[in-house]
Chain A
Amino acid sequence: MSESTVIGIVGMALVALAIFLFWPRRGWLWRQRQSEEERQRIQVEDALKYLYFCELEQRRPTVAGIAGRMQVPENRAADIVGDLQTLGFATIGPEAIQLTGDGRTYALHIVRAHRLWERHLADETGYAEHEWHGRAEEAEHSMTPAEADALASRLRNPLLDPHGDPIPTATGEMVDERGGAVTVLAPGESGRITHLEDEPEGLYAQLVAEGFYPGMVVQMIDESPERVRVWADGNEQILAPLTASLISVTPLSESETHPIDGGITLADLTSAEAGRILSLSPRCRGVERRRFLDLGFVPGTEVIAEMISPSGEPTAYRVRDTLIALRKNQAGMINIERIPVLSD
């Protein structure tokens, strides 16, 4: 290789590097600067959210609380509070930090964006449940109020996010459907889960893995300081009191107690057994739910498990004279009652 070739290659590499570093709006330098500004804005927004939730739950907001929640050092948290005051979003009184009207509106927008995005992820994408919260934490900071409105109307103005939390309307109103912790239920009493708190994430993931979801009916067996025992979908679940405190329920009235979800699902049928569909689980959402209804998996319909794939899954079910194959996890979302097989 001649000297001039080497120089040519080195020169081209240098030009490429310069473009990579200094290109306006895309280059490394610009991104660094821009992300510093953005980081500050995101911290302000997160602090607003914290203040808003304190107000809602009637807790006293503190600088230490902000620091703990946002995982920043306390002096950084104090700076953020200072920023909030300068921006006119909060006032620092002798007693406490308080949101101003503007601050509350801003915070509500962030909460709205977050919960709308979770709704969107649940209904319109294939992301797994444990990813919704983290993704919404990012998306909430890059949505303008106009975009939030457009998203809301596309989703047909939902009132609740997939965790059962109310979504504020554009004017800041929302349903109050929180209910109480699962421990308000007396032994033997049933309640419908209205909300699963998605923080701390580890405990939330555990609840999801155990099969809890908003809309599910649970029945209290008993509770002690060490553990809480409930019936859920026909299984006995034993929870630590801290984990149980993430579950909010509203007690069911007498008339609602039957039919209770759970018991058995389509997945429990083996070959040549029959059942009648009671309901589709609320875990089954969006496209999948519509598909089920399209295919005829409608409450009241009779279903026969006709054959099982030689590889173990899926199982083909006869529904309204057609054969439809469903995988196990899908069949598990269709609640049924057993009926005797009709003889041919």
Chain B
Amino acid sequence: MSSATLSQERLTAQEILDQAASLRLQVGDFHEKLVEATYAEAADIADSVVTRPDRARRDSLDQRIDRLVTSRLWGFPLMVLLFAVVFWITISGANVPSSLLMDLLIGQLYPLLHAGADAINLPWWLSGLLIDGMYLATAWVVSVMLPPMAIFFPLFTLLEDFGYLPRVAFNLDNIFRKSGAHGKQALSMMMGFGCNAAAMVSTRVIDSPRERLIAMITNNFALCNGRWPTQILIATLFIGALAPPYLAGLVSALAVVSVAMLGVFLTFVVSWALSRTLLKGEVSAFSLELPPYRPPRIWQTIYTSLIDRTLFVLWRAIVFALPAGAVIWLVSNIHWGGDTLAVHLINLLNPLGLLIGLNGVILLAYVVAIPANEIVIPTILMLTVLTTGMTGVGDGAGVMFELDSTAATMDLFRAGGWTLLTGVNLMLFSLIHNPCSTTIYTMYKESGSRKWTAIAALLPLAMGFFVTFLVAQLWRLFV
């Protein structure tokens, strides 16, 4: 149809639409060609007007670093070494400030608060709820959580800022590809060893929707900072004790490392399964940019990682620790029919706990200490004293504590009826159970999806019950 005929005839709206529709059928799907042409044109324009300064020298330095850190010979050893150093600095560096904070917040401020409460004649239940419950739980979380995070996050951010972390993803991508995941999941996993909640935020770097969900859901299998102390304590008490004294340290360290490795293994297995079942319909588009290296901006990095990561996570943990402290104190102090609520709950949970090789005390501790894995052991100790009616240990109903001597801790566990099976299964359950509420909430904020958040919370929990159940049954059969 020529323009001459168009202008002479008066077409009705319907005729125009019909004509447009038939012309569209002739033209075909042109969107993609159009988009491609737009990009090609943009590239042409950029090439003709942008001049690039001489950058050959910097490039060759970048290339030299890249060849080294991604070389077949040095790539992996360098990576292992760097992360070992980061973890070593974190662990050894956190001990001192952690015990200082503990001493300040719990050793000094806590009795002071009690004295103050007595001075103004606060009723016992109110001071118990506020000081023994809410304050103590929060202080505990802060002093255990803050120092390692304040060291680990800035170190990690420095590596990120320098440009090294994308190379780690590049080196490891093939392993993750085989389990249907993204190489950058290596980074969120690494972050998960520090804190799962912060790792949820760090999955933002994965820009493919399916792989990001995989990284979020499986992150819980990276043993976080709050769970390492539990693993170490239980491994020392139960597994190290099996070996002759001169090997005890080595054996218990091996046990902890095996649990962490089991977590890594589960990450791959669950990623693989998720990408082939629940998540197979989610969009997946891999891409990995390797930015140029640049000198890290140290002060800026420390500042932003403290604000963005450390304080952010700490704040969320505090928000959840306050009510949890109240709940912990209340269940141990509210009496109902002669016994405390905690005792009733423990009796209720005991059959299930024993079935999976744990006990009611441990299960209740995991329920009430959901805000942070850091307070699980203190809660277990307190609840054990409460149920066994031991005297001379601990500070009273609802008041969390830890014992300085491992032997005393072991005595307490024995009084609670713990066996080697309890220890092994507690280590397993500590690795494989629902993430802490801070992590769950962060995942919800990050994914915006109730469904995937629920799966991230319940899948590991179900797996934890299954694994401990299996171990308990086999144990009872063969041991």
Contacts and interface: CB of A to CB of B under 8 A. Distances in A.
A224 B367 CA distance: 73
B303 to A, nearest CB: 28
A180 interface: no
B184 to A, nearest CB: 11
B72 interface: yes
Given A126-B283, A310-B71, A325 B29 contact: no
B70 A314 contact: no
Nearest to A160: B29
A325 B170 contact: yes
B174 A313 contact: yes
A88 interface: no
Given A169-B21, A311-B172, A327-B173, A126 B210 contact: yes
B289 A293 contact: no
A72 to B, nearest CB: 30
B39 A159 contact: no
A127 B280 contact: yes
A310 B72 contact: yes
Nearest to A325: B288
A146 to B, nearest CB: 19
A290 B35 CA distance: 9
A280 B36 CA distance: 9
Contact of B282 (A126, A156, A320): A126
B171 A288 contact: no
A307 B67 contact: yes
A321 interface: yes
Nearest to A127: B281
A174 B25 CA distance: 7
Interface string A300-344: 110000110111111010001111111100100000000000001
A321 B52 contact: yes
A296 B290 contact: no
Interface string B369-408: 0000000000000000000000000000000000000000
A4 B291 CA distance: 70
A287 interface: yes
A287 B56 contact: no
Contact of B287 (A127, A157, A324): A324
B25 A309 contact: no
Given A298-B43, A301-B43, A313-B173, A286 B31 contact: no
B60 interface: yes
B280 to A, nearest CB: 6
Given A126-B210, A344-B56, A158 B170 contact: no
Main secondary structure of the interface of A (DSSP, over half): loop
Contacts of A14: none
Interface residues of A, number: 50
Contact of B70 (A125, A288, A309): A309
A26 interface: no
Contact of B170 (A125, A127, A295, A316): A316
Interface string A117-138: 0000000111110010000000
Contacts of A236: none
A173 interface: yes
A37 B189 CA distance: 49
A277 B170 CA distance: 23
Contacts of A321: 52
B296 to A, nearest CB: 19
Contacts of B177: 313-314, 327
B285 interface: yes
A24 interface: no
Contact of B171 (A290, A310, A326, A327): A310
B88 interface: no
A161 to B, nearest CB: 11
A248 B170 CA distance: 41
Contact of B290 (A131, A156, A311, A324): A324
Interface in B32-80: 32, 35-36, 39-40, 43-44, 52, 56, 60, 63, 66-67, 70-72, 75-76
Nearest to B43: A298
Contacts of A322: 289-291
A289 interface: yes
A187 interface: no
A311 B71 contact: no
B284 interface: yes
A309 B170 contact: yes
A299 interface: yes
A127 B72 CA distance: 34
Nearest to A297: B39
B337 interface: no
A13 B322 CA distance: 38
Contacts of B292: 323
Interface string B259-302: 00000000000000000000111111111111110000000000
B76 to A, nearest CB: 7
A331 B250 CA distance: 47
Contacts of B67: 307
Interface in B101-157: none
Contacts of A177: 28
Given A160-B29, A289-B32, A293-B35, A309 B285 contact: no
A177 B75 CA distance: 52
Among B36, B281, B284, B287, max chain A CB count under 10 A is at: B287
Contacts of A156: 31
Contact of A316 (B31, B43, B283, B290): B290
Given A127-B281, A300-B43, A310-B71, A344 B287 contact: no
Contacts of B24: 157, 159
Contacts of B170: 309, 314, 316, 325
Given A126-B280, A173-B25, 5 more contacts: A160-B29, A173-B21, A310-B70, A311-B171, A325-B173
8 contacts: A126-B283, A131-B280, A156-B31, A160-B29, A309-B174, A313-B173, A323-B289, A323-B290
4 pairs of A and B residues whose beta carbons are closest in the complex: A311-B174, A323-B290, A325-B288, A288-B285
